[in-house]
Every structure is written in structure tokens, then in C-alpha cells.
Amino acid sequence: MNFPIAIVGAGLGGLTLARVLHVHGIAAIIYEAEASADARIQGGLLDIHEYNGQLALKAAGLFDAFLGIIQPGADAERVLDKRGDVLFDAPDEGNGSRPEVHRGDLRRILLESLPADTIRWGHKLTTVSSTGDGQHVLTFANGSTATAGLLVGADGAWSRVRPLLSGVQPAYVGTSFIETYLFDGDIRHKATAEAVGGGALLAIAPGKGILAHREANATLHAYVALNKPEDWIAGMDFSDPTAALARIADEFDDWAPELTAFIRHSETAPVPRPIHALPIHHRWDRVRGVTPLGDAAHLMSPFAGEGANLAMFDGAELAKAIVNRPEDVEAALAAYEEDLFPRSSATAAESDRNLRLFFDDRSPWSVVEFFAGHRMAG
């Protein structure tokens, strides 16, 4: 066994890896840039799929805890046009195949399942160097250093570990999200809350859309999506939230007011989230003592709804590979990567197809057909 096992990043992927190792009696240390578990609100609902995310939670021994955090009814889906007319409306299937949970709740059950000293908060990795014998020396922004016998990059889109394996950087996909919130929707934003219904709303037109979800306490959480060049979003002045929201609202000037309320009446400063992805077939040659998982390995646009599911699944699969071959970790990493490449390529291709379909010239009908087909396929 290559000790110590150092995981960089306490996102869903890194935490799942540490937890599954822990279940099998193998210790790991997670180095996380954020100062504490509460340093940032972990927003958004995630649907956790039967064939990957849920399997990872079973491997982690946390399936019952997961059942306890499901948001009932949140898997309902509606597609609207820009006038607010409902074109597709499907209730939560309630069959457990892809229930919705809050990302923060999911992260909490993973955090609570690990020994308290597993995570070194406030450790932002700045540089990594190879010692040449499969070990790596990590240097953190707080001045400390650590040596890793096995290094796992679970540090997300802009991974500091990935460059040890691949020179490829994520590229902008042509779509930017702007994140907004309305609170107490049923009382304070009634028309918008009614438009959203019990689950997800997708109001779409060619090149733009409003993708929203009802969360606990009638919080209405939206990603306003625009197909724009990267310098358009980079050039917007988000330090003046009112002006930024007005500028974004201009792009939706002929949309129904219950939809544009997400922009005009946002109760939080808008947060720009330009969407980036790694190439669909991103892969690398084996490098001794190091491997990535989750977004660090296969960042993709969120249009297949799989990124968090895959990150957890990667974490569980990597742990299982190590548990199965503790005497030969290199063979374990090779086996893990051999499965990872086709799995992530297939999903990255699906994300890419969906991204195009969502905002193409036939939208919103392309999206209606997509959801209708999905529901029929189960």
C-alpha cells in the first residue's frame, strides 16, 4: 500500500473516496482549500441516479442516510416557452430512480461519516512536485507541505493535480449561467412559484433559457442561461448587481414577467458561472502514484446532470480498486482508469449533445421531445 493516501479536495468525489476507503479500514487525508465545512453555501439540488450516484452511496454504507435527505416531489419537470405557456409537465415519478437531494445535505452526511481528523481544512494546494519514485510533495498556500504515497486529484474543474497527468485545460463551451435566488416564493413571488410548480422549470428559447428549481421553504433557485462569447460574461461588471441584473434582463425583454422575475427581483447578487468542459475523450498515460477523479478528470457541462453522480461513483470505484489490490496500487490505478475513460467519455458526449439541443433553433420543442423521450425510456 502506498501511504499516506492524500486526496486533494473535499467535494462529493473526494469525500466518497475517503469514506469507502474508511469503510474498508484504509485511512486517507483530505486537503481542502476552504477554511471549514461551512465556509460556503453548498447550493442546488442534485438528482442522484440509481446506476451511479446511488451505487456509490451504497458502497459508502450511507444509503439509508441518503433516503432520509430526499426532497419529495422535487423530481417533477416542466418545460415552458418564453410566454410562460407550459409545453410539458411531468410529475415526480417517485420511483426512487433519480430522487433529488440538496448538495449541502449530501456533503454533510459524507462529512459526518468520516473521522474528524480526516480533513485538513484551509489547505489550498499550490504546487506539486514528483520525487521520482511515485511519491509527491504537496505545498499549500498556508506554507505547509506534505508527502503523498498516493495522490488523488479530487480538486474540481481547475485541478492543481491534473497537470501532472495532462496538459489539457477546460475550454469555455459557449454558454454562461447566471445564478439567482427568490426566497419564500409561495408568499412573496406567487406567480413565479406557480410557474415553477413542485420541481424543476425549464423555460427555453433558442440561445437562452431560465432553468429553475423549487428548493426547501419555497426557495426558488435559478440559473439564467445565455449563449454568449466568453468575453461578454467576463466583461460584465458584477460588482454592481443592479446594473448587471438590468443588463441580463434586457436579453429577456419579451419574456413573461413571472419568468423574468428571476432576474428583475433576484434577492441575491447574480453570480456568473461560465460553463467549461474538458475534451470529451480526455485521457492520459499512467503516471506513477497519482490519479484524478470527478471534475478534475472529466469536467463537462451540466446538461446530462451527471457530474456529481460521476464524481461520487469515481470515488467509490477508485476505493474499491485500491481495496482489491492493496499490494499493487499501480495495477489498481490502471484498472480504475481503464474503466473511467469510456465511462466519462460516454457521459461527456451526452452532455455535449444535450447542451446543443437545449438552445438550438428548435428550442423549446427540442427540449420537450428530449424530456418526453427520457420519461418514456424510464
Ligand X SMILES: Cc1cc2nc3c(=O)[nH]c(=O)nc-3n(C[C@H](O)[C@H](O)[C@H](O)COP(=O)(O)OP(=O)(O)OC[C@H]3O[C@@H](n4cnc5c(N)ncnc54)[C@H](O)[C@@H]3O)c2cc1C
| Interface ranges with ligand X (CB under 6 A) | 8-14, 31-34, 46, 124-125, 154-156, 160, 177, 223, 273, 294-296, 302, 305-309, 311
Q: Taking Cα atoms as reference points, which of 258, 168, 254 lies closest to residue 222? A: 258
- Shortest distance, position 328 Cβ to ligand X, whole Å: 26
- Shortest distance, position 69 Cβ to ligand X, whole Å: 15
Q: Residue 36 or residue 131: which is nearer to ligand X going by CB?
A: 36
- Shortest distance, position 46 Cβ to ligand X, whole Å: 4
Q: Which residues contact 86 (CB under 8 A, 6 or more apart)?
A: 78, 79, 80
Cβ atoms within 10 Å of 171's Cβ, excluding its own: 12
Q: Residue 164 or residue 256: which is nearer to ligand X going by CB?
A: 164
User: What's the CA gap between 161 and 126, in Å, rounded?
Assistant: 9
User: What's the CA gap between 212 and 227, in Å, rounded?
Assistant: 17
| Coil/strand/helix, residue 157 | coil
- Shortest distance, position 160 Cβ to ligand X, whole Å: 4
| Coil/strand/helix, residue 91 | coil
Q: Could you tell me whether strands 77-80 and 119-120 are parallel, antiparallel, or unpaired per DSSP bridges?
A: unpaired
Q: Taking Cα atoms as reference points, which of 57, 36, 53, 60 lies closest to residue 114? A: 60
125 and 160 in contact (C-beta within 8 Å)?
A: yes
Q: Could you tell me whether strands 200-205 and 77-80 are parallel, antiparallel, or unpaired per DSSP bridges?
A: parallel
Residue 103 labelled as part of a binding site: yes
Compute, in degrees rounded to 10, the torsion defined by CA atoms 172, 175, 176, 177: -130
- Shortest distance, position 169 Cβ to ligand X, whole Å: 14
Residue 362 labelled as part of a binding site: no
Q: Residue 154 or residue 329: which is nearer to ligand X going by CB?
A: 154
- Shortest distance, position 83 Cβ to ligand X, whole Å: 25
Q: Residue 252 or residue 313: which is nearer to ligand X going by CB?
A: 313
Q: Residue 160 or residue 208: which is nearer to ligand X going by CB?
A: 160
User: What's the CA gap between 207 and 231, in Å, rounded?
Assistant: 16
Q: Residue 154 or residue 193: which is nearer to ligand X going by CB?
A: 154
Binding-site residue numbers for FAD are 47, 103, 295
Binding-site residue numbers for NADPH are 40
Binding-site residue numbers are 40, 47, 103, 295
